[in-house]
Structure formats: structure tokens, C-alpha cells
Amino acid sequence: MYAVSKAEKAYLLDTIETGTRLDGRQLFEYRPISLQVGVLPSASGSSRLRLGETEVLVGVKVEVGDVVESSNDNVQLLFTVECSGSASADFLGREAESWSSELQNALESAYRAANVFDDERLSLVPGKFCWLFKVDILVLDTGGNMMDAISMATRTALSTTLVPRVHIVQSEGSFELEIDDNPDACDTLKVEKAPTFLTFSLIGNHFVLDPSIQEETCARGKLSVAVDANGDICHVYSFGLLDAVELSRLLTIIKKTGKVLLNRLDECVKNGESS
């Protein structure tokens, strides 16, 4: 457990009153983000992301799967959030479990709402075969604001994921899929619609974006919003007493910041690939 003394908390609250945070950031400012893609050669897509002290690693595996139940989806997404031993050393068993299932649920819900992979190119045999994207998220270090780090890393990992071309051979009513072995015959996923989370902690009477672990410990509430590039809301979860008036103000900030954030991430990936 992260420990904060009363005096530290008091100083933190006072400093936030003045519009600054203990690491010098403004209230609505992210910590520096470091990003690396293609870190795992054996995965179809991968990324490593560091947000302040929080570090996550995401690997995406692409498979073809049977459609479960009647559904016309081209893509099924499977998320797992796992805490590596080093990060979970401070967590207690069951809490770590509920914590990771909460992250997982929020991510699922946001991706489902955003309908990210509504892409004709990804169509296989509707109602029979679909793509299975297995997104495994490994938390290497916990330094606050896990949600945002995970959603950013997931989006970047998906954006670099290569999907092999598939030829559908129809014979006697049954379908066979031939996967192109040629490593060049791959398409990159389009993730424009993928949302990202923006998380605020409510400290004193102020909301701060991208809380550090210390700020999270001192917070009395949280607001986590998933937005896509258009500024549409894909998921919201908040707790702790907050003013309704504050909410609309935050939403405009979220819309603006979200857009910048997504742009920055895409730029970084693009630069990384070209170099």
C-alpha cells in the first residue's frame, strides 16, 4: 500500500488549491509518455508504454475463431489484464483481482461501444468465422492512472497489429480458410475509432488529470471517461461526490485533450515506424 502522511496530504491539497501539482504539472496535464511499438516479435502487434511511473506492456495475437452464438461481428476482442508479480507485490490477492477485472470491464465496454472494427475488410464468413483479437495487457509497474496507460497502450498495440490476408474457399457448403503465408500480405488495423480513457482524480475540490499514485491515494473520487477522436463519449465511470456543474466543464476539456492525446500517440507511432 502506498503510504501518505497527513502532513503530505495537507500540503498536496494546498498546492492543488493554487493550481499546481507536486510534480509541477498543471491540473489538466499528463505526465510524459514514452512509447515503443513492436517490442514483441512473436506477437501480431505489441506496445510498451510508460506514463510517469506506470508501465504496461501489451501484446495482441490475431486468430481466426468460430462465431459464438448468433452474431454478425467480424471481430471478437478478448482483453486480459494481468499484473506482473513485480507490480502486484504491493497488492493483496483479491484486491488485485477485482482491480484488474474492473480495468478489463471498462476497456471492453468502451471498445464495444465505439464499435472499433466495423470494417468491411475484416469480414470473414459472417455467422461462421470471425477474427479473434486477443489483447493481453501486462502491468509492469503501478504508478497511478492505470486505466489511461492501459487504454493508450492497447490502442497503439492494435494500431500496429498486422492481420494476415485470408482467402475463403467455399466447397460443398462448408467454408475453408486459407491464410496467406506471405508475411507481406498483411493489413494493418485501422483504429481511428478506438477510444482512449481520460481519468481525473477528485482531490479536495479539484479534479486533476492523470493522477499519480500519491494523488490517487489522497483522492476522494474519480472520473474516468473514454472518448474517441470525434469527442464522443464511449464509457463513463465516476464515483465520489462531484458537482454536476463541474461535469460539463470537464467534458469540454476531455474532448479537447482527448483529441490531442490521440493525435500525439498516432504521430509517435508513425515517427517510430518511419525511422
Within 82-141, the residues that bind another protein by CB under 8 A are 82, 84-86, 89, 92, 94, 97-98, 100-102, 104-105, 108-109, 112-115, 117-118, 134, 136, 138, 140-141
Single-letter code of the amino acid located at 222 = K
43 scored as a contact of another protein (CB under 8 A): yes
**From candidates 10, 168, 177, 179, binder to another protein by CB under 8 A:** 10
In angstroms, the CA 83 to CA 91 distance is 9
Q: Least distance (Å) from another protein to the CB of residue 52?
A: 8
Per CB under 8 A, does 239 bind another protein? Answer: yes
Toward another protein, which CB reaches closer, 71 or 188? 71
Residues 6+ apart with CB under 8 A from 13: 203, 204, 218
Q: Which of 4, 64, 162, 186 binds another protein (CB under 8 A)?
A: 4
**Using rule CB under 8 A, residue 165 touches another protein:** no
* Dihedrals phi, psi of 190, to nearest 5 degrees: -95, 125
Between 64 and 102, name the residue whose CB sits nearer to another protein: 102
Of 46 and 166, nearer to another protein (C-beta) is 46
Answer for which of 64, 162, 186, 236 binds another protein (CB under 8 A) is 236
CA distance 21 to 156: 28
Segment interacting with another protein, rule: CB under 8 A, options 166-174, 176-184, 239-247: 239-247
By rule CB under 8 A, what count of residues binds another protein? Answer: 118
Distance of closest approach, residue 112 Cβ to another protein, in angstroms: 5
CB of 219: closest distance to another protein in angstroms?
Answer: 11
Cell of 215: 494523488
| Spatial contact of 104 and 80, defined as CB atoms under 8 Å apart | yes
In three-state secondary structure terms, 223 is strand
Q: What's the closest the beta carbon of residue 234 comes to another protein, in angstroms? A: 5
Report the length, in residues, of the chain. 275
CA distance 147 to 145: 5
Shortest separation between residue 178's beta carbon and another protein, angstroms: 20
Distance of CA 257 to the CA centre of its chain: 15
Listed ranges 63-71, 164-172, 179-187: which one lies at the site for another protein (CB under 8 A): 63-71
Interface with another protein, residue 205, by CB under 8 A:
no
Sign of CA dihedral 201, 144, 30, 104: negative
Q: Per DSSP, what are the bridge partners of residue 56?
A: 49, 139
DSSP 162: E
Q: To the nearest whole angstrom, how small is the minimum distance from the Cβ of residue 123 to another protein? A: 12
Residues between 169 and 188 with contacts to another protein, criterion CB under 8 A: none
C-alpha cell at 105: 470491464
**Cell numbers at residue 139, please?**
502491468
